[in-house]
A and B are shown apart, each in its own frame.
Chain A
């Protein structure tokens, strides 16, 4: 209550104005576009229609949606399965080393996304490093074509978002009240049971935060399917891109974008609810 001399709303005003003008207004604009028809030569004709949303359930597009959801879900599960043990190991490392381990786990996340994705082209292509290493190892068959596949897209997504999941799960683990774990062990539960009944449930908020993040960013991803899927694996993000840059069907692209936003809002709300429920459980457990 000490910088009361300054007015909070006044301080926040410039940034809020910026976000409203350049984020909220554009999003509302395309929300509007989603309900209009496309012009014959591109552009938007202001006649109300629900056609753009109806097209989403058209088998052609519904398949892309389901594919995207499956790829995103697989990437999410894999990222959590890799990140949890890593975050756990960091949280059990000596206190003095945790910060540095965490920093290096997260560092790649802040470097160029395109380059991190490109690195996998270098590894996976037919003349790439993995095939070269296999040949050194005595493999004589056809080089493996690993690039331009669903698997490559999933690997790319997991690779790119893993650092954030490690960070999210670590922050849950580092807040974990160890006395609860000790109590469980003292009461005779084995390490596995203690993990499943105490540690895991208490760190679910971190898992949920990391998982929602990977899923939301994966399902709307454009770069990874374009580069590692070779255009053969269209995801919703690529569909949005095409509507705006090649098909010139802005209203349909806008509708697809709004569906991505809706998915994001639903998942974030569920996650927030799960987190507040989990913190309720912690309070109860500590009582």
Chain B
């Protein structure tokens, strides 16, 4: 009994330390974003003025709009392609190593390598760079993540309900929309939400495939150039908003896909 309690206490202490390491840096940023002085050296009172400053910054608003456009289009394409891919892989009679590697690659390939490869590719084909090339590039990794989430759901899929539907005379098309799709729906939405957050946060590939000029700057590119100029209270406020959006989207995604965890 003694050993048991000691182990629990040790586990709890470990978790407090590790969660502290993970969350204190983020908490500091969030805290500072509400500091009137904006600096870590003095706390001069609670203020939302840095958030107000963001709303008056046309560069940031423009970048946020671009990011939203890229994320919406990339997510839409990736969700369709990734879901079909998951269905394709899981209904194959035999697993294909080549296919598995192809689908796994976007998740592990160093992003700088994919970024320079895409830049070389687009410029070799004389494609004008812009938001559309960022969308095309983001679909690559977005679809891989959508696919892996939908596949996880398909693995636990009860195929007998599909057979039942077919036996009762439903066509394959009806069966898909009335049986398979509703069961997969939470995973598809969860995958889409994950793809959306990956897209709004992605920096390097967007940076290389956006082309020159301000017109296709995304929020992460904007944040990167702000950080290069030094710490400003506006970055803290912007960072807080961006992280809150990601966290909210992920919470919804996780909640939708929660059956998967059991």
CA distance A82 to B99 in the complex (A): 34
Task: Please list 21 pairs of residues, one from A and one from B, whose beta carbons are closer than 8 Å in the complex, sorted by A's number.
Answer: A2-B163, A9-B88, A12-B85, A15-B103, A18-B81, A19-B102, A23-B105, A88-B14, A92-B11, A108-B22, A110-B201, A111-B243, A111-B246, A112-B201, A114-B227, A122-B231, A162-B18, A162-B22, A163-B22, A244-B116, A260-B112
Residue among A108, A111, A163, A268 with most chain B CB within 10 A: A111
Known: A108-B22, A110-B198. A122 touches B29 (CB 8 A): yes
Q: Are B204 and A119 in contact (CB under 8 A)?
A: no
**Which residues from A are CB-within-8-Å of B243?**
111-112, 115
What is the interface of chain B mostly: helix, strand, loop, or mixed? helix
Please, what's the 1-or-0 string for A72-103, where 1 marks a CB less than 8 Å from any CB in chain B? 00000000001001101110110000010101
Q: Are B147 and A15 in contact (CB under 8 A)?
A: yes
Please, what's the 1-or-0 string for B132-165, where 1 marks a CB less than 8 Å from any CB in chain A? 0000110110010001000000000001101100
8 A Cβ contacts from A22-38 to B: 22-27, 29-30, 33
Does B72 belong to the interface (CB within 8 Å)?
Answer: no
Q: Are A29 and B11 in contact (CB under 8 A)?
A: no
Does A41 belong to the interface (CB within 8 Å)?
Answer: no
**Which residues from B are CB-within-8-Å of A24?**
102
Q: Are A30 and B117 in contact (CB under 8 A)?
A: yes
Using CB atoms, name the residue of chain A closest to B26. Answer: A119
Q: Are A25 and B121 in contact (CB under 8 A)?
A: yes
Instruction: Select which of B10, B15, B39, B239 is within 8 A of A112 by beta carbon.
Output: B239
State the B residues within 8 Å of A (CB). 3, 7-8, 10-12, 14-15, 18-19, 21-23, 25-26, 28-29, 32, 39-41, 80-82, 84-85, 87-89, 91-93, 99, 102-103, 105-106, 108-114, 116-121, 124, 136-137, 139-140, 143, 147, 159-160, 162-163, 166, 172, 175-176, 180, 194, 197-198, 201, 203-204, 208, 220, 223-224, 227-228, 231, 235-236, 239, 242-243, 246-247, 250, 254, 258, 261
CA distance A162 to B21 in the complex (A): 10
Q: Are B231 and A121 in contact (CB under 8 A)?
A: yes
8 A Cβ contacts from A188-218 to B: 191, 213, 216-217
Does A132 belong to the interface (CB within 8 Å)?
Answer: yes
State the A residues within 8 Å of B (CB). 1-6, 8-16, 18-20, 22-27, 29-30, 33, 82, 85-86, 88-90, 92-93, 99, 101, 103-105, 107-108, 110-116, 118-123, 125, 127-129, 132, 159, 162-163, 166, 191, 213, 216-217, 219-223, 227, 237, 240-241, 244, 250, 253-254, 257, 260-261, 264, 268
Instruction: Select which of B28, B113, B136 is within 8 A of A119 by beta carbon.
Output: B28
Instruction: Select which of A26, A122, A221 is within 8 A of B117 by beta carbon.
Output: A26
Given contacts A29-B117, A86-B14, 10 further A-B contacts (CB under 8 A): A2-B159, A4-B91, A5-B166, A6-B176, A110-B198, A111-B26, A111-B246, A119-B28, A129-B28, A132-B40
CA distance A260 to B147 in the complex (A): 25
CA distance A16 to B101 in the complex (A): 11
Instruction: Select which of B92, B103, B250 is within 8 A of A19 by beta carbon.
Output: B103
**Which residues from B are CB-within-8-Å of A132?**
40-41
